[in-house]
Structure 1
Amino acid sequence: MKLAFYGSSLLSSYWNGAATYYRGVLSQLARHGHDITFYEPDAFERQQHRDIDPPAYAKVQVYDASPEACARVLAEAAAADIVVKASGVGVYDDELLEGVIDRSAPHALKVYWDVDAAATLEELAGAPDHPLRRRLPEFDLVLTYGGGPPVIRQYEAFGARRCVPIYNALDPATHHPVAPEPRFASDLAFLANRLPDREARVEEFFLRAAARLPDKRFLLGGNGWQGKGMPGNVSAIGHVGTADHNAFNCTPQAVLNVARDSMANIGFSPATRVFEAAGAAACLITDAWEGIELFLKPDSEVLVARDGQDVADLLEALTPERARSIGQAALARVLAEHTYERRGVEADRILRDELAAKRELVAA
């Protein structure tokens, strides 16, 4: 079964939080017999910051960020059984959207795969003429990497035929416990790119906690934080490639997850970082959001904070023994219930069922 996937980047996680998700889901779909071609633009210096080689589970076509190159790769959609337009490609998103709908074969399953549903839905709500809002009913299926019932209801209200979350998960082959590395030693580490709709929450949950605990060490990884005022006990180390994520998660006493505003408001949206940390048996502290208990049990598998004072209080009370206990419990939970192997089974079943129904409809 030929699957054409138009996304941001499979080869690079640089300014590309969806990379881990793409890799996890698509590698499993390949195991279920899907012949995958991933189309990614040469944009945002991602090709200069690749962190994996082209994988065996997908053919990767990198195209120039130009209208001509975009049109060339869209022409290949006609040969696919399943054609996916992912959200947030970053260049020519509208052209890719229109092209996937217009150039796919009549019998092909057309899928919009949203890797940031909260932000997409917020954008659609404020733009009645948005290309996705206009053409959403022409997609056969919407898949999202989070959001739960609130996202399903909103997508259906905008005209989606069917919306199903395929949540983030763990690939234990890539994210797992490793030996600590001294360069990541800290009491609390946080890994995230600097984004406008998360900055105030980072200031509250991370920087405020650091200011309240001047004797503890805080580590900040991710792009864009240069020039940001921080307490003296915070070390900002810039981009951390996926090859270093395990050590980044294993070394500190605890790691922090902070959702963006839109994801926190809509709930049911665990970031890839949640599962990466749990897979490394890290003691995770997360900001509070609805639905966390579907993935990790508060107090025994994850610690939940309502604000920066909560983060500081949790850190002060945290012993190495309790941190290890929480990390091991989180690892056991995600290995049992939240692996990409499980997500792949689910995604494969949905795609095959929807494709069969589409072909019956076209043949009728």
Structure 2
Amino acid sequence: MTKTIAFYGSSLLSAYWNGAATYYRGMIRALAKRGYRTTFYEPDVYDRQKNRDIDPPAWAEVVVYDGTVDALRKVAAEAARHDIVVKASGVGFEDDLILQEVMAAARPDALKVFWDVDAPATLAEMRDSPDHALRRMLPSLDLVLTYGGGDPVVAAYQGFGARECVPVYNALDPDTHHPVPPDPRFACDLAFLGNRLPDREARVHEFFLQPAASLPDRSFLLGGNGWPGSNLPPNVRAIGHVPTADHNALNCTPRMVLNVARDSMASNGFSPATRVFEAAGAGACLVTDAWEGIELFLQPDEEVLVARDGQDVAELVRTVTPQRAERIGQAALKRVLAHHTYDQRAAQADALFQAQARREAAE
């Protein structure tokens, strides 16, 4: 029997200022293959609807609502129609109210899930605010899923009263992220794609801009919102927002691509960003800043290059040949296709949902 999911998140249709888009799309599409039918509710905020990069998909229904409290309450009431009710973190519009309204509307027999796409930030908020809405409601929710974080994140959530917390990590959708021919627009020695955010900017300076400044004879490409107008080295070309449709070409063309974790993700570890799997799925040679747990996803020196600091990045740009870069990229592609696809993550989520349903039926 088809299970229906009411999913309240930031946006399925637009990746504009919305780093979770790839994760949402991969998970929901893969769950559809397993018989789940999802209705995704997203607010019309932050100009995301003006910057859609996919059409409404066949594998989910999308409901876009006005950024008003009245519209929020109307779509929250629709949670009562569904078997599983999911509130994601980081919607960006009245997050606490959405959580309260949708869980109040959910049927008593519905599975109630909080799906955290930024666990370090959420946990920090709960530590700082004893009256935090999620902190109050955790004991009444059936399940917390996170797209990153290892044992410390699980233990922290359980310490706040979560019944169960399980990481369901980012992954690859090989239908959307895969090797394509190189595109001259993205030719360079090292590329970084990521929005300019306060808790990542210092690390981007250390791992990307400083190496660029030290290697004036090499070329660097910077994609993402917020960077143009910065004081960039002359050999860094900033190209602004890169639509999802261009991600494969951006990953396939440079000699190497860089991943830089946000401060909180790096300190918690076990938090591979979507760009890690996007790059690996395109067969790119990925350089990542060091964080605990990377070897669970890609093997250092064989499937990924790990840099401890900007000097390491500069040394890799100087020394890694195109031939070695290609070998590493191909090894990464093989690894993620074998072990890290959204079909595999959806199987994990499906098993969790079914286990919860069996427990409730037995009570």
What TM-score do you get using the length of structure 1 for normalisation? 0.98
1:302 and 1:51 map into 2 onto residues whose CA distance is: 29
1:88 maps to a residue whose letter is: G
Partner of 1:277: 279
Partner of 1:261: 263
2:299 pairs with 1:297 = yes
* Equivalent in 120, 127, 141 of residue 129 of structure 2: 127
**Secondary structure of the structure 2 residue equivalent to 1:159:** coil
**Secondary structure of the structure 1 residue equivalent to 2:199:** coil
* Stretches of structure 1 lacking an aligned partner (at least 5 in a row): none
**Secondary structure of the structure 2 residue equivalent to 1:62:** strand
Partner of 1:51: 53
1:169-190 CA distance string (max 9 Å, x none):
0000000000000010000000
2:306 maps to a residue whose letter is: V
Q: Map 1:164-183 onto structure 2 (within 5 A).
A: 164-183=166-185
2:356 and 2:66 map into 1 onto residues whose CA distance is: 32
1:277 and 1:323 map into 2 onto residues whose CA distance is: 12
Partner of 2:316: 314
> CA RMSD for the aligned pairs?
0.7
Partner of 2:151: 149
**Secondary structure of the structure 2 residue equivalent to 1:214:** coil
2:198 and 2:192 map into 1 onto residues whose CA distance is: 17
1:212-259 CA distance string (max 9 Å, x none):
111000000000112211111000000001100000000000000000
Q: Are the counterparts in 2 of residues 177 and 250 from structure 1 also a CA contact under 8 Å? A: yes
1:37-60 CA distance string (max 9 Å, x none):
000000100000000010111100
Range moving further from structure 2, 262-271 or 123-132: 123-132
Q: CA deviation at 1:122?
A: 1.5
Partner of 2:203: 201
Range moving further from structure 2, 227-236 or 289-298: 227-236
2:28 and 2:219 map into 1 onto residues whose CA distance is: 37
**Secondary structure of the structure 1 residue equivalent to 2:258:** strand
2:35 pairs with 1:37 = no
1:52-75 CA distance string (max 9 Å, x none):
010111100000000110000011
* Equivalent in 77, 82, 91 of residue 75 of structure 1: 77
1:352 and 1:221 map into 2 onto residues whose CA distance is: 40
1:115 maps to a residue whose letter is: V
Range moving further from structure 2, 114-123 or 242-251: 114-123
Partner of 2:62: 60
Partner of 2:346: 344
1:20 and 1:284 map into 2 onto residues whose CA distance is: 18
1:100 and 1:352 map into 2 onto residues whose CA distance is: 21
2:28 pairs with 1:26 = yes
1:274 maps to a residue whose letter is: V
Range moving further from structure 2, 271-280 or 25-34: 25-34
Q: Are the counterparts in 1 of residues 190 and 255 from structure 2 also a CA contact under 8 Å? A: yes
Q: CA deviation at 1:100?
A: 2.1
Q: Map 1:185-196 onto structure 2 (within 5 A).
A: 185-196=187-198
1:121 and 1:215 map into 2 onto residues whose CA distance is: 43
2:59 maps to a residue whose letter is: Y
Partner of 1:235: 237
Q: CA deviation at 1:355?
A: 2.3
2:23 maps to a residue whose letter is: Y
1:342 and 1:209 map into 2 onto residues whose CA distance is: 37
* Stretches of structure 2 lacking an aligned partner (at least 5 in a row): none
1:52-99 CA distance string (max 9 Å, x none):
010111100000000110000011111111000000000010111101
User: Percent identity of the aligned residues?
Assistant: 68
2:304 and 2:62 map into 1 onto residues whose CA distance is: 36
**Secondary structure of the structure 2 residue equivalent to 1:296:** coil
What TM-score do you get using the length of structure 2 for normalisation? 0.98
Q: CA deviation at 1:129?
A: 1.3
Q: Are the counterparts in 2 of residues 108 and 358 from structure 1 also a CA contact under 8 Å? A: no
2:121 and 2:194 map into 1 onto residues whose CA distance is: 17
1:274-306 CA distance string (max 9 Å, x none):
000000000000000000000000001000001
Partner of 1:222: 224
1:337 and 1:35 map into 2 onto residues whose CA distance is: 25
Q: Are the counterparts in 1 of residues 228 and 239 from structure 2 also a CA contact under 8 Å? A: no
